């Protein structure tokens, strides 16, 4: 006799929307508006059902495959991050670490320029994704914004731009490293 895999009839999640946040849905395009700004995201490519009712968002899939079950949780997390972003925002703090050659960092156009990294003549460039605010202090870089993907990817690009190759990373500690991730933006 063959063993059959049991499947859930329905997988669903509910998000309660806080009072200060306004949510609008057109098809599968969700717009979240809050005190810090507005974020819009299109989920039309996802085979999941969504509905907004009385300050609550319902996300569900009937007779879901494993992939669809995972997608329900993924969409839930994306919308939660959008709500957190428009309410509080996100902050990533990076530390500039050097031992001999002082690193200087500047923002120019859509790039962060890292000059004099390990004495290199040409500056290294890290692309700024979207429009997060970047503050450069003496030994810190602060990346802030309402879109988590943009803030975290920009911080990762800065960190990756200073990766030391072909040298022992225990000895050559020069670089720029993320040391703190928080919800909320400092004014």
Residue 86 has pLDDT above 80, yes or no: yes
pLDDT digit string, tens, across residues 36-76: 999 999 999 999 999 999 899 999 999 999 999 999 999 99
CATH superfamily, with its number, for domain 90-183: Ribosomal protein L6 (3.90.930.12)
Angle CA 85–89–93, to nearest 5: 130
What letter would DSSP give residue 186?
-
User: With contact defined as beta carbons under 8 Å apart, do 154 and 129 qualify?
Assistant: yes
Strand-pair partners of 106: 113
Q: Where are the domains of the chain?
A: 10-88, 90-183
pTM: 0.90
Stated as kind and residue range, the H or E segment containing 123 is none
pLDDT of residue 3: 67
Same fold, 10-88 and 90-183: yes
Residues sharing a CB contact under 8 Å with residue 146, sequence separation 6 or more, in sequence order: 36, 37, 39, 85, 86, 89, 90
Which CATH code, of 3.40.50.10420, 3.30.70.1400, 3.90.930.12, 3.40.50.300, is assigned to 10-88? 3.90.930.12
pLDDT bucket at 185, cuts 50 / 70 / 90: confident
To 5 degrees, how large is the angle CA 163–CA 168–CA 170? Answer: 90
pLDDT tens per residue, range 112-128:
999 999 999 999 999 99
- If DSSP states are collapsed to H, E and C, what string results for 41-102? EECCCCCCEEEEECCEEEEEEECCCHHHHHHHHHHHHHHHHHHHHHHCCEEEEEEEECCCCC
Top pLDDT among 182 and 2 is at 182
């Amino acid at each position: 006799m063959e063993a059959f895999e049991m499947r859930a009839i329905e997988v669903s999640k509910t998000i309660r929307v806080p009072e200060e946040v306004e949510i609008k849905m057109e098809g599968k395009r969700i717009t979240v508006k809050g005190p810090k700004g507005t974020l819009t995201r299109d989920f039309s490519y996802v085979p999941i059902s969504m509905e907004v009712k009385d300050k609550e968002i319902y996300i569900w899939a009937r007779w879901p495959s494993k992939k669809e079950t995972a997608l329900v949780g993924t969409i839930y997390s994306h919308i939660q991050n959008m709500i957190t972003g428009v309410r509080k925002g996100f902050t990533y703090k990076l530390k500039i670490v050097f031992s001999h050659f002082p690193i200087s960092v500047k923002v120019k156009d859509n790039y962060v320029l890292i000059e004099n990294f390990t004495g290199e003549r040409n500056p290294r460039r890290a692309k700024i994704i979207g429009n997060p605010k970047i503050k450069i202090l003496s030994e810190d870089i602060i990346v802030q914004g309402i879109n988590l993907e943009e803030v975290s990817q920009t911080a990762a690009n800065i960190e990756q731009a200073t990766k030391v190759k072909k040298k022992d990373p225990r000895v050559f500690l020069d670089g720029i490293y993320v040391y703190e991730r928080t919800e909320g933006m400092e004014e």
